[in-house]
Structure 1
Amino acid sequence: MNADFPRILTLLRKERGISQKQAAAELQISQALLSHYEKGIRECGLDFVVRTADFYGVSCDYLLGRSPERTGAQLSFDDIPEPDSTGKENTLKGSILPTLNKKLVFNALNIIFDLLQNINSKELTTEVSSFMSLSVYRMFRILYGINPKNEQTLFTVSPVVASAKALATMAVCEANSNVIANELIAQQPELKEKLYMSTQTLQQDYPLFTTSLLNLIKNSETTINK
């Protein structure tokens, strides 16, 4: 069994709001054995995995950590909604500040990822994407941690070290991005001309997004200078 199984098994039980004793009875095993499964002390058989998946209404792939989707679906390009898709999750009520900053960030990201597409480097795209993802991860964990009742088993990295480790990994991603960019310039000198940018060229190439990027730069440097 893998390391994800005990964590997800515990998470599902706590989300259901039942004790180990109740869950063990439903799953037809002893509480002691379930405790061992949840702690990763013992490995279970395939029949228990299937029985557990049926009990919690998830797929075996999700239970084993093979898919982040409870149905076991694998994420494809077409499954990812556009950032401006309409829907409940996209409706921000109350203060205008979150909506404003969301637009600034999303519009600036449109420019960054379009530039990455033009550069066409898988390695650079991976490093930049990892840096952005880790930034979102760190902020989400802060918001998630506001309520101490939220189950920490959602995460595999301890909250004691998660922020520091994520920040360190972001520094590595940034360093790798610099190295890859310099290597690309050495191998493809024409990239310098291709990626020449000024306020004017940005506004020509990205008329819808440049104002957001410029405001984001200004806001960021104001924050840095504080």
Structure 2
Amino acid sequence: MFPYRLKELREEKGLTQEELALMLGLKRQSISNYENGGRQPDYNTLIKIADFFGVTVDYLVGHSDFRTREEEFKGRNFYEKYKLDEVIDDLMDSESKAILGNILINNVEPLIKNISGVLYQHLFGDNKKEILVLLKNLLESLNSYFNFLLKYSQRSAYFIALKSDYEPIDVFRWLLENHKYIKVVSDSRGNLYAIEKEIDDEIVRKIISEVYDVYFGLTDLLKQHGEILSSLRYIEEFYTKNLKENFSRILKLLEMPQDLIELIENDNNIENKVKEGDSNGSKDT
């Protein structure tokens, strides 16, 4: 792993071999030899390289998939804190755990922190009950969505069905293999399928049901998606309506000319901006 990780770290920083060698006080040929596996650095040089890139020696040589001790500690703590072992396969390899751990630390945990902050802020508002209910509904919709997606993704043919170059017949064939009804055998003409067990009508119906379950279970997923959008729309309407009404009241208190107040009250800028935001979001999506 060392040659691969050294090259990966160097390219992440946008450095040439010569530039890295200069910064480390080494020869360019040494960096080249390290990256092609021709030579291994001594321990002191390993420490120097690890310190330069801000990673551990264990990560550099492939003994760990966490770049820093802090990442490793946080990742392991996250697993224990949220009891992830209850929903994650024990056979997950260390690299996959590191990738997941980094996502949890850098994306999920900040999201939890921000959600908590928003909820805390709204505890002191005049309309706290209404907005907190709306935010609670959004969080429930999101939780329901991911709960459904977790169960949906555990179906045996799920990832096969996601492949762009697969047809339902490929999923059907894969399920027959997965249930050990057929196996692939190779001969001079290519791959052929040999029947391992007798396939009767009941088995065919069972396999078809699994294929149907994967492809048409998607409609239930879209229903969950619709509930999230509805929750977001209610929050959007709450802010749009109240902000616009309060802005009009402020203008009246300031004794603005009536024609200007009417112009602002009839202005659709807020709605248009919201719609533009939706449109841009759709394009990005």
**TM-score using structure 2 length:** 0.34
Greater percentage in strand? 2
Which structure exhibits the higher relative contact order, with contacts defined as CA atoms closer than 8 Å and separated by 6 or more residues? 1
**TM-score using structure 1 length:** 0.40
Greater percentage in helix? 2
Structure with the greater alpha carbon radius of gyration: 2
